[in-house]
Amino acid sequence: MVFLPHTASAHTISSSLPTANGPSFRATAGFDTRYRDGNWIPIRVALRNDGPDFNGFVSVNTPLPFAGAGNSGVLSTYRAMVSLPSGAQKQVTLYVPFYYGTQGITQNVTIDLLDTNGHKVNSQASPIHALGPGDIFVGILSDQPTTGFTALNALSLPNPSSSVFTQNLNASTFPTVAEALNNFDLLILDNFTTSNLNKSQLATLQNWVHQGGSLIVVGGPEWMNTLKPLPASLLPATVTQTTTIPSGTSLLPFIGPADPGTKSASTNIQAPVNVSVATPAAGGSVLLSSNGTPLIVQSQLGLGQIDYLAFDPSLEPVVSWSQASSLWRALLLRNLGDQMLISSASSTTPTVSKSVLSSNTNGLGAVLQSLFPTSFLATQFILILLLGYILVLGPIRLLIVRRLKSRDWSWRIVVSTILVFSLLSYGLALQQKGTSILSSNISVVQLDRPSATESMAHTTTYVGVFVPNQGDFRVHLSNDGLVQPANDQQSRSPNGLTSQPTTITTTQSGTDATLQGVNIWTLRTLISRSNHTETGGILSRLSLQDDLLSGTVTNTLHRDFSDAYLLTYGRYVSLGQFKSGTTKEIHLQLPKIVGGQTASFADQIAASKHLAVPYTPISNGNQPQTEQQRHMAMLSALSGEAGYDCSGGSGFCMQYGVVASNGVMVSNGNYSSSAYNQLINGGDPLMLPDASATLIGWADNPSSDTTNVVTINDTYTSKSQETFFQAPLDVTLSGSVNLPPASINSQLVDVQTQGTGVQTLYPGVYALSSGNMTFEFTLPVINNPHIGTLQISTASSLPQVGNTVGQQGSIDANHLHPYLYNWQTRNWDAYAFSSFTFPATPSQSYIGPGGRVLLRLANTDSTQATAIFGKPSLQLVGASNTR
């Protein structure tokens, strides 16, 4: 190459420059500029082309996580392809994640119009305003004037520093991805032409509720226009007609009488009201009725909640009713709970997803590395090749020449060695070109309860891409989900900013992620979230009677499970291989549990396989070697028991935790708030909160599975894949029951305090200095119930948590005054905590319509220290001698 002459060439680079009559656009970001920090937001771009035909991209840069206000660092660039013939107009919507880490600020987002070469043609800055940490954002789908929601906008919240903001939505502004709806705390569907929403938007609404959203659907005189086009799963009740309820009817859900000595306002409306007549659906709980007509019905859908109102609060006479604000306050408390309270700094860590399993980015990212085979195999081959080359040209050549006593063999051996080893080197290079780029992924799939033939699947996939050389790589994902780079996997320049952002482009066949300037021997991680349907489902016919769980579980999915488990009420049973089309018989004797479970499911399963508990090999510097070890490492990460890397600053890590016998997780490190919230109340992150039992397992991945096809530079790469499934199972209860606290969730329904009298320190952990809080339990449906005792308990050792967040001189829950509402005497019965629990008998007098149990916790002496306590739990203790 030294002696070859240098050549020169000239060529032109074409670019589309802005012209007087070229393409132009107008962009808006967020929902009228508002958004919730840490979520995906829509950016709507209206394009117009008054010039020649144009092809290019709409492009938006996203900031580095926790960048703060005014930081210009770029994590990734999102692009959408546009094609504009001359004279054409087009609407393009991009969904982009924004995570500044600072709430209540206003930033400018720059939207660029690029040509096919990436040159800027036009640009516009659009402001976005992040809601405050305690603000409530309500989306309203209604054809009515906004004046019908004046009482909601002016609502006074328990947190005096927070406000309610409402946003009107319609068919043109309603998102088509569920993650964008996470900006809203609540959606209201009231007097709206729902048929204007397309199939994709209705599926988005349904997926959002499944993943933890709260929805209020309103009947009333216009119920057919609003409710009839909705899927049946979004309706807690089946509406048939309308009627009128008389004057003097109560329109507030019952939460018990006020404390003695205080005067409560009337909950009755002094005018007749037009209402819709409905029959509650299976699983729907009637919170309020009038002469047999349900007025408020509540139901669960996946992780979310739906409330049906038979009357329209935006119409007269309800809209001008003196208690209209009390109605909205009660509805918000039932749907939002802790979000309505003052939050300490420790409880305001934003999360990108409401799902427990999909938020542990660091833990699963570390497990992802263990899926890769030895990536430095090529280096070993090169060293062996070089050593062989030296041996042949040196000692072996000299030995042959001496033995044959002819120097002519020397040059023959040299030429032959050069030829042979050159061919070997070229062959090795060809082989490594096809196999050195590796990709592996972990998918976490949460199934909904199956319909007749299919199940909705919510999938979070972690894609790891390993490249041995430097350069740009284009990763193509076949699904149509939302893709983003992992926050802790970015290369950074000396000033702390990402030097080469990832470019993510939406195409007709999926999503392209361009990894730019990748360093040698680099592992990059992408996170993809999508929703799709799985043919078939997991069907269960299970019953629990006298602590014996029995029945069958059937796999009608087109997938085989290599390792499956059934989790229920703190215990599990291994199903082993669970092939498609097979049925498993279940016979599991549950021990009588007093207090919370003693170990997480991840720890129980690891112990049964004679592994260390908790099983955290990666954090200890070891890599899982076998499939079984990888599975256990995944369970540990998904349970939040170990944060494999808490240095990334993503807010999702958790250090080692110990679950005490009362279900409390004690840790001296960071908390994963979702996992902490469940464990503090006796639950387990591997259990789906809306199910009495959960099936978990790893699916085999046949070659025909095209759900998560990944190519790199248009080449299929060698890939290992782990697909973890969760599916809810139904259990019928009958006879004598003995259920642990985790099976019955409490719901905050009322707060009576002033100022900073109550705060949330962590999700599900409260500091009460004065006033009272009312919680509601809804008992499961039990055939021929024999309930001996209601056992009320709350977590212990929580004053230690209070001391860590500045609550000095705190006391525990034993100093609170608990009351249970007696539905027979219509009074509050006083009890007392002893060792953070108390039994209530006779139990039947405390169980109201719909299986509702009301508990009030009061701190009556404002001069004493602040009480720190966890969300109360209820345990059913059966009377085994009753038949």
Tokens of 219: 């009947």
8 has a pLDDT exceeding 60: no
The stretch 793-819 carries a mean pLDDT of 70
Mean pLDDT of 357-366: 53
Cα-based angle 162, 267, 135 (whole degrees, multiple of 5): 10
Residue with tokens 């991805």: 177
Q: Which of 58-72, 225-239, 480-494, 540-554 shows the lowest mean pLDDT across its residues?
A: 480-494
Is the pLDDT at 853 greater than 50? The verdict is yes
Lowest average pLDDT, out of 116-125, 188-197, 616-625, goes to 616-625
Q: What is the mean pLDDT of residues 187-210?
A: 95
Q: Residue 712: pLDDT band by 50, 70, 90 thresholds? A: confident
Burial class of residue 149 (count of CB atoms within 10 Å of its CB; 0-12, 13-18, 19+)? buried
pLDDT in tens, 392-420: 888 888 888 888 877 778 888 888 888 88
Secondary structure class of 105 (helix, strand, coil)? coil
pLDDT given at position 362? 52
Q: Which residue has the higher pLDDT, 815 or 219?
A: 219
Give the pLDDT of residue 461.
87
Q: Residues 229-235: what's their mean pLDDT?
A: 93
Mean pLDDT of the chain: 80
Cβ–Cβ < 8 Å for 185, 138: yes
Beta-carbon contacts of 404 under 8 Å, excluding residues fewer than 6 positions away, are none
Quick check: bond before 624 cis, omega within 30? no
Confidence at residue 820, expressed as pLDDT on a 0 to 100 scale: 96
Full-model pTM: 0.84
Contact 657, 677 (CB under 8 A): no
Q: What is each CA distance from 297 to 2, 212, 301, in whole angstroms?
A: 84, 18, 13
Q: Do domains 21-132 and 438-533 have the same CATH topology?
A: yes
Rounded percentage of the chain residues whose pLDDT exceeds 70 = 78
The three-state secondary structure class of 638 is helix
pLDDT number for residue 881: 44
- In this predicted structure, the answer to whether residue 61 has a pLDDT above a threshold of 60 is yes
Q: Which CATH number fits domain 438-533: 2.60.40, 3.40.720, 2.60.300, 1.10.8?
A: 2.60.40
Mean pLDDT of 788-810: 66
Q: How far apart are CA 615 and CA 613, in angstroms?
A: 5
| Helix, strand, coil percentages, rounded to 5, for the chain | 20, 40, 40
Torsion sign across C-alpha atoms 690, 696, 698, 701: negative
Alpha carbon distance 347, 624 (integer Å): 34
Output the pLDDT for position 616: 74
Query: Half-sphere exposure (CA, 13 Å, Cβ side) for 646?
Result: 13
pLDDT the model gives residue 359: 39
Q: What is the DSSP letter of 492?
A: B
Class of domain 744-878: mainly beta
Tokens 């991945």 identify what position? 701
How many Å apart are CA 155 and CA 317, to the nearest integer? 18
Report the share of the chain in percent with pLDDT over 90.
37
Summarize the confidence of residues 330-352 as an average pLDDT. 72
Cis peptide bond N-terminal to 799, omega within 30? no
Please say if the pLDDT value at position 800 is more than 60.
no
Mean pLDDT to the nearest integer, 852-862: 87
The CATH H-level (homologous superfamily) assignment of domain 21-132 is Immunoglobulins (2.60.40.10)
| Domain residue spans of the chain | 21-132, 133-340, 383-435, 438-533, 537-700, 744-878
**Residues 497-535: tens digit of each pLDDT:** 445 788 999 887 888 888 877 776 677 888 888 888 889
What is the predicted pLDDT for the residue at 53? 93
Decide which of 662 and 128 is more confident: 128
What is the model's pLDDT at position 31?
95
Confidence of residue 651 (pLDDT cuts 50, 70, 90): very low
- Residue 134 in this model has a pLDDT that exceeds 70: yes
| Confidence at residue 657, expressed as pLDDT on a 0 to 100 scale | 32
More confident residue, 817 or 367: 817
| CA 322 from centroid of its chain's CA atoms | 38
Sign of the torsion angle spanned by Cα atoms 536, 632, 65, 713? negative
* Span between the terminal Cα atoms of the chain, in Å: 95
User: What is the per-residue pLDDT for 44?
Assistant: 95
Taking only the tens place, the pLDDT of each residue in 764-795 is 888 898 889 999 998 887 777 777 788 898 87
Phi, then psi, of 696 in degrees rounded to 5 = -120, 150
Q: DSSP characters for 235-260? A: -SEEEEEEEEEPTTEE-S----PPPT
Looking at per-residue confidence, does 488 or 616 come out higher?
616
- The CA dihedral of 202, 206, 209, 214, to the nearest 10 degrees, is 40
7 against 110, higher pLDDT: 110
pLDDT at 24: 92
The CATH number of 133-340 is 3.40.50.880
More confident residue, 611 or 618: 611
> Band of the pLDDT at 432, cuts 50, 70, 90?
low
What pLDDT score was predicted for residue 401? 81
More confident of the two residues 798 and 38: 38
Q: How far apart are CA 818 and CA 574, in angstroms?
A: 40
Does position 139 have pLDDT exceeding 90, yes or no?
yes
pLDDT of residue 360: 42
183 pLDDT band (50/70/90 cuts)?
very high
pLDDT-wise least confident of 13-17, 290-294, 334-338, 599-603: 13-17
Lowest mean pLDDT: which of 281-285, 387-391, 442-446, 806-810? 806-810
Q: Which residue has the higher pLDDT, 83 or 680?
A: 83
